[in-house]
Each structure stands twice: as C-alpha cells, then as structure tokens.
Amino acid sequence: MTSQVRTVVADPASVAAAIESRFSARAFLPTPVPRATIEKMLALASRAASGTNTQPWKVYVLQGASRDTLVGKVCAAHDAIYRDPSVAAEYREEYDYYPEKWVSPYIDRRRENGWSLYGLLGIAKGEKDKMHAQHQRNFRFFDAPVGLMFTLDRVMGRGSLVDYGMFLQTFMLAARAEGLHTCPQAAWNGFAKIILPHVGAGPDEMLVCGMSLGYADVDAPVNGFHTPREPVQAFTTWLE
C-alpha cells in the first residue's frame, strides 16, 4: 500500500475543482454508469474518516428494473399524499433531518434556495401542481440511471451520522473525478417503509438518505442553479 503520510498531492487544483464543481444536479442523461466505476467510487469513499474506524455505512445501488420499480412505488405514495394530506401520517422520517422550529439565518437561506430554484423553473408561488411535480422529480432520481440508498444500523450513535456525512461527500467528490454528478436527497427519508423492504435492508437498519448519480444534462436550465455560500469570516472565529 502507498504510504499515506508520504503521498504528495501533485495537482491541488484538481482537488479544488472537484470540490468547487460539486453541486446538486437535478437533470441527468440516461447514459449508463458502469458498475466498475461505481465500485471504484465506493472504494474511495470508504477511505472517509469514521470514529474508531467503525465504517458505519451500508449502500444499496439501484439500476434498471429495481430502480424503476422503486420509483413507481414511491411516486404513487407521494401522489396519494398530495390527494389526501392525512396520508402523510403513514410516512415518517426516522430521524430529524431538519429542525422542528426554523430560525434565522437558516430559514432565510432555505427560502432563498427554494424560491430561487422555483423561479428558474418558472414556478410561481401558489402553483401547487407544479410544485408537486417538481418535488416528485426527487423520487424519479431526476432521471439519473443510478439511484443509491444509504442506511445505518440503528444501534449506532448520532456520531455515526457525522461519519456518514464524510463518506457521502467523499463519494460525491469521487464522482466528479469520473465526470459524473450527484444529488444527495433527504427527500426519500419519509418513505423508508417502502424503500427498506424494496432494497432488502435488515430490520435494524434506518435510511440515512438517497442519492441520484449519473451524467448531468449540461443543457438543462435547472442545472444552472448553484447555491451561494457564506464567506469564511461569517462562520469562523479566530482565537490567538
């Protein structure tokens, strides 16, 4: 094995480019992604840090019929909720991804994100049918040929979600090295009771999130949407 401590990153600009060019793609081409490529990316992602090397991630890769069948099941449930909001009580996230009560500045960023995206897509406030259709694009993997579901054993502590975040980010950066794009999606979490049996997850696993993977459609207007980031001085305190 190559010495990690002696390894020199010969092209730092490429590392920076992978980080800076990662974004949540929302339109993909149908071009297949080879299994060997996905395996390579997962192997790189497995080098992510985890507390005491627990490596808590479990990954389910959906392609072809398995992908399409899951899309059909979840879209049907999503439509049922739209027709009758009381049905939503049947579908619950296993952990709180978002806060129960939103406060500034987080709610402001969330609103800016949502209305900027809808504005780009020509969806006006109050156009519920269009909003529903756009939200359902999540459950079609934005037409990406590959969907991934990530699970965690419930016995693990909350710190494992920190480990998982590093794993997911590493996977997404590995995708950029292969000319691929991704979209991490917490939107799937509420439909875990459909997803987990479909992928064959064990009874002690919980859904962390889903992800779309493929070659981004460079001509799709929605892929021109890129979220802003706060400057370093806004979130950093220097102590000397």
Of residues 66 and 1, more confidence is placed in 66
Does position 236 have pLDDT exceeding 90, yes or no? yes
d(CA 62, CA 146): 6
- pLDDT, residue 100, reads 93
pLDDT at residue 213, as a whole number: 98
- For residues 57 and 54, give the distance between their C-alpha atoms in angstroms, rounded to a whole number: 9
User: Distance (Å, rounded) from C-alpha 218 to C-alpha 180?
Assistant: 11
Confidence of residue 2 (pLDDT cuts 50, 70, 90): confident
Residue 215 lies in a domain: yes
In this predicted structure, the answer to whether residue 207 has a pLDDT above a threshold of 70 is: yes
Q: Which CATH number does the domain housing residue 203 bear? A: 3.40.109.10
* Average pLDDT rounded to a whole number, residues 15-26: 97
Residue 6 lies in a domain: no
- Note whether residue 86 is domain-resident: yes
Range of the domain at 155: 23-96+138-219
- According to the model, what pLDDT value does residue 114 have? 93
- pLDDT above 90 for 3: no
Q: pLDDT averaged over the chain? A: 96
pLDDT confidence bin for 216, thresholds 50/70/90: very high
Asked if residue 84 has pLDDT above 90, the reply is yes
pLDDT, tens digit, for every residue of 142-169?
999 999 999 999 999 999 999 999 999 9
pLDDT, one tens digit per residue, over 88-127 is: 999 999 999 999 999 999 999 999 999 999 999 999 999 9
Percent of the chain with pLDDT over 90: 95
Is there a domain that residue 240 lies in? Answer: no
Residue 205 lies in a domain: yes
**Domain-located, residue 112:** no
**Count of domains in the chain?**
1
If you average pLDDT over residues 55-82, what whole number do you get?
98
Q: Residue 1: which pLDDT band, with cuts at 50, 70 and 90?
A: low
Domain assignment of residue 207, yes or no: yes
**Is residue 159 a part of any domain in this protein?**
yes
> What would you measure as the largest C-alpha separation in the chain, in angstroms?
60
